[in-house]
Amino acid sequence: QVRLVESGGGSVQPGGSLRLSCAVSETLPPGPRWWLGWFRQAPNKEREGVARVDAGGTPTYYADSVKGRFTISLDSAKNTLYLQMNNLKPDDTAIYYCAADASLSPWIYSSATARYWGQGTQVTVSS
């Protein structure tokens, strides 16, 4: 059973930066469709897909709301997924979750769950 453990959340002022980490307990099952990614959930808002990489670590998606500010990366040697968040805005406040699956359904349907989810880490952007 793959376990995902997020860290790095916290409180920051607008314009600040944070780097989230997601430790992956073991190598994902074989197959080209697997992805690793970040979602976020703000109070009273639908879950939003933020960014994802493919099994090889190539970024394949960024939400329009974070393009140019967030960077997703995968360190395969450390089995760790990162999300570097720069120029943070109050609208970025949410719980950020790391997830992995071989299906893109969670990116299409906000009610769909991924096979593997982390416990989430809170990011608060406020002055």
Element (H, E) at 81: strand 80-85
Closest CA to 113 of 97, 125, 124, 92: 97
Please return the burial class of 70, using the count of CB atoms within 10 Å of its CB with bins 0-12, 13-18 and 19+. buried
Positions of the chain with pLDDT lower than 50, given as ranges: none
Calpha distance 38→91 (Å, rounded): 16
Provide φ and ψ at 108, rounded to 5°. -100, -40
Calpha distance 38→48 (Å, rounded): 9
Residue 7: partners with Cβ closer than 8 Å, 6 or more residues away: 20, 21, 22, 23, 121
* pLDDT (tens digit per residue) in 26-59: 888 888 899 999 999 999 999 999 999 998 899 9
Cβ atoms of 85 and 69 within 8 Å: the answer is yes
